[in-house]
Amino acid sequence: MKARLLLLGALPLAALLVLPAQANTAAPAAKADPAKGQAISAQICGACHTADGSRGVPANPILAGQHPEYLVKQLQEFKAGKRNNPVMKGFASTLSDDDMRNVAAFYAGKTAKPGFAKDKDLVSLGERIYRGGINDRMVPACAGCHSPNGAGIPAQYPRLAGQHGDYLEAQMVAFRGGARANSAQMSAIAAKLTDREIKAVSDYIAGLR
């Protein structure tokens, strides 16, 4: 300690004045700007996800009302190649971290329109899996992470309520087969589900409100 004080005493006054600033040089992240995000959506995202991220083509996810932290995470993983999708990687690669936060804030501020289940024969099976899991195969209830009404948990688990059933089914199949590998938890769960069970829970979630 004495040696440190002697060393500081030997420094010019100007050098001492800048020491506190050097101790913390990391700039805080800029606050997300939904208006800038809207501009990005209009230029890049809207063709596939619609202008407000609502109900577009069933093969593409609904983004309206999704947790911004989740959207940023997915964009970063598309850009890094951790989530494999050549189209999304191309778009995400053009975005900075600030761009991602801005566009995520824009979509998160929108309200998704209600969805609906298409297969009445499978809805009851989907509901049982979503709310109670499958005990004999140790499949946990979807509601445990995504909440009973499908709202999800911000920064951890995405909102699912009203999402396109076709998109959900495709993602579950991708998790099961390894084509999507950015969630070990979902890969393990999907690996225990049959095609019929995946279709059932996806269709049930599509009608959640």
Sorted by where each begins, the domain ranges of the chain are: 34-108, 120-206
* Total Cβ atoms within 10 A of residue 56: 19
Question: What per-residue confidence (pLDDT) applies to 29?
Answer: 65
pLDDT tens figures, 58-78: 999 999 999 999 999 999 999
Long-range pairs for 34-37 at CB < 8 Å and ≥24 separation? 34/102, 34/105, 34/106, 34/109, 35/106, 36/99, 36/102, 37/99, 37/101, 37/102, 37/103, 37/104, 37/105, 37/106, 37/107
Long-range pairs for 179-186 at CB < 8 Å and ≥24 separation? 179/84, 180/83, 180/84, 181/82, 181/83, 181/84, 182/74, 182/77, 182/82, 182/83
Question: What per-residue confidence (pLDDT) applies to 68?
Answer: 97
* Torsion-angle region of 178 (φ positive above 0: left; ψ -120 to 50: alpha; else: beta): left
Q: Which CATH architecture has domain 34-108?
A: Orthogonal Bundle (1.10)
In percent, the amount of the chain with pLDDT more than 70 equals 86
Question: What per-residue confidence (pLDDT) applies to 62?
Answer: 97
Report residues of the chain scoring pLDDT below 50. 1-25
Query: What CATH number was assigned to the domain covering residues 120-206?
Result: 1.10.760.10
Mean pLDDT of the chain: 88
